Amino acid sequence: MTARIAQLSWICVVILTLTSHLAAQDSSRGGHLTDTYRPVAGQLIGAALTDEVGWEKLIYLTTQVGHRLSGSIGLEKAIEWAGETMQKEGLENVTLQPVMVPHWVRGAEHAHVVGPVERRLSILGLGNSVGTGGETIEASIEVVGSFDELEELGRERITGKIVLYAVDWEGYGRTVQYRSRGASEAARFGAVAALVRSATGNSLYTPHTGAMNYADDAPRIPAAAVTVEDAAWMRRMAEAGETVTVQLYMEAEMLPDAESANVIAEITGSEMPEEVVVMGGHYDSWDVGQGAHDDGAASIAAWHALTLIHQLGLRPRRTLRVVLWTNEENGLRGGNAYRDYVKDVIDNHVAAIEMDGGNERPIGFGVTVPGAQGPSRGMPGTPDQQVANSRTQNALDLTSQIGVLLEGIEGGLITSGGGGADIAPLMQEGVPGLALRTVGEHYFDWHHTDADTIDKVSPVDFKKAVAMLAVMGYVLADMPERLDGR
């Protein structure tokens, strides 16, 4: 009860602060969008911060449905529930767009060190990996810190071994390559399996799974993630001249593609219904944890933003659409299927917004207009690039005006560079992309682990995300001009 009172008190303070902040803004601060949409932004933010239904939806998704890997009963249960609930809430044109998705099954898995000491290894098989063929692989570990080290050791040292990528954490973008293609690179030199240090900077003995890909020109060998602690231990053992021998058993297998769906709903535009602003997150997750940060909170936040807009009786000029994309984690089938679904009217998509970086404290949006590229070596760029650069600046100017409306909840930072995996197919066709940004302090501590659970999500941060998506989505759909200036 004390925590509930504290939360309500905080919300009241935020609303009062926001109201005074917006009222005190000078007309020169922001621009015409700031002035025009100040009242509706206040409505949306107030509704989002005092609402409890969105949070209850997230509790249901994470607690009663749980993780939602493509092809699983959990994902299909979540899809059916979302479609039915959207209908009850009065959202329009609710559609379950059919998508065939990969169906990878983990099965039982375990690993043990059998020499020079005995100890258990905590592992998570990497998504799309093959299994060990019903047998236990026993082999010595060859530790490498990079692909260059792997190549230097060569086939003579690697054949018959289990390669361990005990790589340093250099941020997700640089480190994830070892998870993605490490197995195929090791297999080229005769490795029988690959273990990969989990892609995280911090660990409490928690392995992180994630998708891996096999090259067509290399044998397919089993691949699993190990904890940061175990990777460091095996590396130190190797440096001490000790040979570590491991037994690995994995039942992982890829089954035939399964039926799934993107969940789509919208508020039809009042004046230009053919033009669309689409926003959402990916509804699937890995088969561990609850998929709370990745990407359940984002999916529910985008969905509930539309629900609040509808409940307030607001209808923008353009159509505002939410999509809960399926199969982002190990196939990207949902994003590609949506692109194909709207291929004849892609030019009518004026913006696409994605949230897929967890739901820590949200701070703003990144924005990209495809085709923009800065001058190179003193040259101004091609005429097409100059046009795209101009459109990017126009988009940044407009979204910055919208950002001013979010400063009262510390969500007004607008930067260049936005997008996401599920809206990438749209952006490749020229649709401007936005990404909701957070502080990103702990996301990769929980990413793709059993620890990605709802207790890691703050209700306050979730409600802020709902508010930010509602304001940004509504204004982009209602403002007179298109975001890219066309």
Residue with tokens 């002035």, as numbered in its chain? 35
Query: Rounded to whole angstroms, how far apart are CA atoms 172 and 220?
Result: 24
pLDDT score of 424: 98
Peptide bond into 116 cis (omega under 30): yes
Residue with tokens 């004390």, as numbered in its chain? 2
Tell me which residue of 270, 325, 285 sits closest to 477, measured CA to CA: 270
pLDDT score of 373: 53
**Collapsed DSSP state (helix, strand, coil) of residue 322:** strand
Diameter of the chain measured on Cα atoms? 73
- β-strands 137-144, 245-250 pairing: antiparallel
User: What phi and psi values does residue 356 have, to the nearest 5 degrees?
Assistant: -155, 50
pLDDT score of 484: 83
Burial class for 362, CB neighbours closer than 10 Å (0-12, 13-18, 19+): buried
Task: Give per-residue pLDDT as tens, 393-439.
Answer: 889 999 999 999 999 999 999 999 999 999 999 999 999 999 999 99
pLDDT score of 11: 52
Task: Give per-residue pLDDT as tens, 436-471.
Answer: 999 999 999 999 999 999 999 999 999 999 999 999
What are the E-state strand segments in 154-192? 162-165
**Residue among 185, 328, 329, 360 flagged as catalytic:** 328
What are the E-state strand segments in 204-354? 223-226, 245-250, 253-267, 272-282, 318-325, 349-354
* DSSP per position, 52-117: -HHHHHHHIIIIII----TTSHHHHHHHHHHHHHHHHHT-EEEEEEEEEEEEEE---EEEEEEESS
pLDDT score of 19: 43
Q: How many CA atoms lie within 13 A of 414 on its CB side?
A: 24
Beta bridge partners of 195: 164, 224
Say if residues 426 and 336 touch (Cβ distance below 8 Å): no
Say if residues 168 and 145 touch (Cβ distance below 8 Å): yes
Burial class for 377, CB neighbours closer than 10 Å (0-12, 13-18, 19+): exposed
Cα pseudo-dihedral 191, 194, 195, 198, rounded to 10:
140
Beta bridge partners of 364: 413, 437
pLDDT score of 380: 59
Check if 275 is active-site: no
Query: Rounded to whole angstroms, how far apart are CA atoms 48 and 154?
Result: 58
pLDDT score of 408: 97
* DSSP per position, 427-467: HHTT--EEEEEE--SSHHHHTTSTT--GGGS-HHHHHHHHH
Say if residues 361 and 354 touch (Cβ distance below 8 Å): no
pLDDT score of 227: 98
pLDDT score of 468: 98
* Cβ count within 10 A of residue 98: 12
pLDDT score of 465: 98
Specify the pTM: 0.92
H or E, element range at 216 = none
pLDDT score of 17: 47
What are the residue ranges in the chain where pLDDT is below 50? 1-3, 5-6, 8-10, 12-13, 15-17, 19-28, 375-379
pLDDT score of 20: 44
